[in-house]
Amino acid sequence: MLFNKNLKILFCILFFYSSPAFSFNTDSEYALLVDYKTNQILFEKNSTKRIFPASMSKLMTLYVLFDYLDKGAINMADEFVISENAWRKGGAMSDSSTMFAEVSSYISIENLIKGIVIQSGNDACIAVAEGISGSEDLFAIEMNFFSQELGMKDTNFKNSTGLHHKDHFTTATDLVILTKALIKNFPQYYHFFSQESFTWNGIFQPNRNNLLRDNIGVDGLKTGKTEQSGFSMIVSSFANEIRLISILGGLPSKEKRTSEMRKLINYGQKAFKRSLVFKSNEVIDNVDVWGGKASSVDLVASEDIYLLLDIRGRRFLNVSYLYNSPITAPVKKGDIIGKITILNDDKIIIESNLISNKDIDSNNFIGKAIDTMGYLFN
C-alpha cells in the first residue's frame, strides 16, 4: 500500500535572533537567484523565458574548451591561430568585444581564456572554435551536445560568441545549470573568472564584471550585451559560507545592470539563513516489513538537509513523504524505501531520499506464512 503523509515543521529556535524583513523586486526582464549547494530557488522572474544570451554564451565556449583541457586533448601552452575570419568578425575590424589579437598571430590557450573571460573577446572565441572544431558551425554542434548533456532543455547555440542570431537562445534556468556545471566540473579553471584585468597587444582592459571590485563576494562569471538582449549578467558570489548564483538581464544600461545585480545579491545574502531541517539518519517514520526477521524498520533521512530560509520560510515548512508499506525482506541498511519532499506553501523546495536504518534478513517459510496470514486477516 502506498502511503503519502504530511507534517508541518516549526522552527521556534530560529526566532531567538532578530532578522530584518526583506522583500525583493527587480526591473529586469528576467532574474534567477539560486543556492549553489542545494539548487534551491530563492528568487525568480521569467526564469524559463527564452532570451538572447549575448556574451553569456561564452560560458559554453569555455565549458567546451575546459572539457578538452581536462581530458588532455589540448594543454594551456598549445596555441591557436587568429584567422582572418576571427580578426574581421570578432576583432579589430569590428566594433564588438575584442582582445585586439592580430591576424595570423598564434596565441596560447591560456591567454585566449583570459581574452574571453576578462575582455569578452569575440576574436578569442572564434579562434578557440576554429582551433578545436575547424569552424564555428561545427563548434556550435559541440556546444549544443554539451548543453543537452547538462540538461539545458531550452537552449540552442549558433556561434561561439553570442553575437545575435534569431535561433541562438537560452533561458536563465539553463544558464544557471551551465554555470553550476562550470564551477563543479572544472574548479581548477575557475580562478580565471576572478582576474580583474588583462593586457594584450599593449592594450589594457579591466574585467567587464565590475562587481569583482565591490567587495560583496562576487568571484565570477560573465556579462553580456547586444541591442536585442539588453544588458545582462550572471555572477557567482560567496559569502558567509554560502555560494549563490545570480542572473538577470534585459536592462537598458550597464549602470542599471550593476545596481540591480547588487540588489539581488544583497537580498540573497541578507534575507536568508542556512538552517538544518533534517539530520542524516533522523527517524521520519516506521515502516512494516513482510517476511522479515523483524516486523518493521525505521524510515530515516538519507542526508543532512539544509535550506536557505527567509522569515516566512522559517515560520512553517510543509513536508510530504511517500513510501510503500509493507516492504518485502530482505532489507539492507541504506536501501531507498521512500522520498521526502519539502515545500514552502505548495512550491517544492527540495527532494531527498528516505532509507532504511538497518539490515533485516528474510524470515523462514513458517515466519513468512504467519506474516501472510496476518495481512490477510487485517
Amino acid at 179: T
Q: Has residue 369 got a pLDDT over 60?
A: no
352 assigned to active site: no
Q: Has residue 373 got a pLDDT over 70?
A: no
DSSP label at residue 357 = S
What average pLDDT does this structure show over 270-277?
Answer: 89
Other CB atoms within 10 A of residue 356 CB: 21
Least confident of 64-68, 70-74, 348-352: 348-352
Q: Has residue 375 got a pLDDT over 70?
A: no
55 assigned to active site: yes
CB-side neighbour CA atoms (13 Å) of 24: 25
Interior/surface letters 340-350, b for 16+ CB within 10 angstroms, e for the rest: bbbebeeeebb
How much is the pLDDT for 20? Answer: 47
| Active-site residue identified among 96, 120, 229, 246 | 120
Alpha helices by DSSP H, 272-316: 311-315
Largest separation between any pair of C-alpha atoms in the chain? 88
Residue 3, C-beta contacts closer than 8 angstroms, at least 6 positions apart:
322, 323, 324, 325
Least confident of 186-190, 211-215, 234-238: 211-215
CATH class of 22-271: alpha beta
Least confident of 83-97, 179-193, 327-341: 83-97
Tell me how long the chain is. 378
Fold of the domain spanning 276-377 = Peptidoglycan synthesis regulatory factor (PBP3), Domain 2 (2.60.410)
Provide the grid cell at 189. Answer: 579553471
Cβ neighbourhood burial of 295 (10 Å; 0-12, 13-18, 19+): middle
3-state secondary structure of 206: strand
Residue 257, C-beta contacts closer than 8 angstroms, at least 6 positions apart:
223, 231, 232, 233, 248, 249, 251
Q: What are phi and psi of 342, to 5 degrees?
A: -110, 130
How much is the pLDDT for 94? Answer: 45
Provide the grid cell at 59. Answer: 560560458
Q: pLDDT by residue (tens digit) across 92-113?
A: 444 468 999 999 999 999 999 9
| Active-site residue identified among 28, 47, 57, 58 | 58
Provide the mean pLDDT of the chain: 89
Q: Per-domain residue ranges for the chain?
A: 22-271, 276-377
57 assigned to active site: no
Q: pLDDT by residue (tens digit) across 150-173?
A: 999 999 999 999 999 999 999 999
Contact 302, 71 (CB under 8 A): no
- Residue 156: strand pairing partners: 169
Q: What are phi and psi of 13, to 5 degrees?
A: -60, -30
CA distances from 78 to 15, 102, 107 (A): 57, 17, 8
User: In whole angstroms, what is the distance from residue 354 CA to residue 340 CA?
Assistant: 6
Contact 43, 33 (CB under 8 A): yes
| Type and span of the H or E element at 199 | strand 197-200
DSSP label at residue 362 = B
| Active-site residue identified among 28, 47, 55, 237 | 55
